[in-house]
Amino acid sequence: MTGSAGQDGSYLVELLRDRGYEVTGVERGDLDLLDAGAVRALLLDAAPQEVYNLASPSFVPRSWEEPVEVAKLGAVGATVLLEAIREVDPAIRVFQASSAEVFGVPVETPQSESTPFRPVSPYGTAKAYATFLTAAYRSRYGLHVSSGILFNHESPRRATGFLPAKVAHGVAAIAAGDAQEIAFQHAGLDWREHVRVDQSLVRGQDYQLVGDASKARDRLGWKPSVTFEQLVALLVDAAREA
C-alpha cells in the first residue's frame, strides 16, 4: 500500500490487518515510485496479492505550486506501478485512488461514473490520467484493476490545513478559552457570536462536487455508517481531546 501513513491509508491498514492481512506499507521516502526497477524489486520481494495505490499530494491548491511533482507522482508514478505489476504478476489485484477533482467544474450534480471529466488543476488532471490509464490496462491486458473516485471525506486524522479540521480545532480552542474563531453547537457555543465573513476571500464558486454513490450501494451493499452531524461531533471531540 502506497500512502499507508495518510488519513485513508492508516484506516485501511487497520481494516486489512483486522481481516488477517499482512500489509506492506510504503511512504514517501521509502520508495521512489518513478524508479521502475525499485518498484519491480519491491513487488518481487513482497509478492502481494493486492496493491492499493493511495500515494498522492492531496491538498489540491498546493498542486499549482508544484505541478511537475504532482504530475510525476500522480500520473507517471501510477504508470510505473501498473507496468511493474503487469510484468511481475498480472494476477495482482489493484486499487487506484482517484478523486472528484477529475470532474473539475462538473456538467451535472451529483456526479456519477458517467459524468465527463473536466479537471481544472494539476492534481485533478493527474488523477484523470491515472483513472483513464487504469481502465486502459484493464481493457488491454485483462488485469484486475479498479479506480475509486473519492469525494471529500474527513476524520480526526485529517490534516488541519483542510477546512473541516481547521474548524473543529477552532471550536476546540474557543471551548477551551484559547481562541476566538469559529464554533458549532456541539461545543455549546453560538456560531453567530464567532463567525466573521471576509467577502474579499469569497471565491464565488457556483458548482458542487457531490458524488452519486448508487453504484456502490446497489452492487456492493455499501451505505454510510456516519451522518454529517455525527462526523462534526467526531471531529470536534477529537480536536478538544487533542
Mark whether 58 is an active-site residue. Answer: no
From the list 56, 63, 123, 154, the catalytic residue is 123
Fold of 158-242: UDP-galactose 4-epimerase; domain 1 (3.90.25)
Architecture of domain 7-151: 3-Layer(aba) Sandwich (3.40)
Contacts of 140 (CB under 8 A, 6+ apart): none
Name the residue ranges covered by the structural domains of the chain.
7-151, 158-242
pLDDT digits (tens, 9 = 90+) for 90-107: 999 999 999 999 999 999
pTM, full prediction: 0.78
Mark whether 99 is an active-site residue. Answer: yes
pLDDT digits (tens, 9 = 90+) for 165-213: 777 777 766 666 655 474 456 666 676 776 777 777 666 667 788 999 9
Mark whether 123 is an active-site residue. Answer: yes
pLDDT at 148 over 50: yes
What's the average model confidence in pLDDT over 118-132? 95
From the list 56, 63, 98, 101, the catalytic residue is 101
**Which of 174, 71, 82 minimizes the C-alpha distance to 129?**
71
From the list 4, 56, 63, 99, the catalytic residue is 99
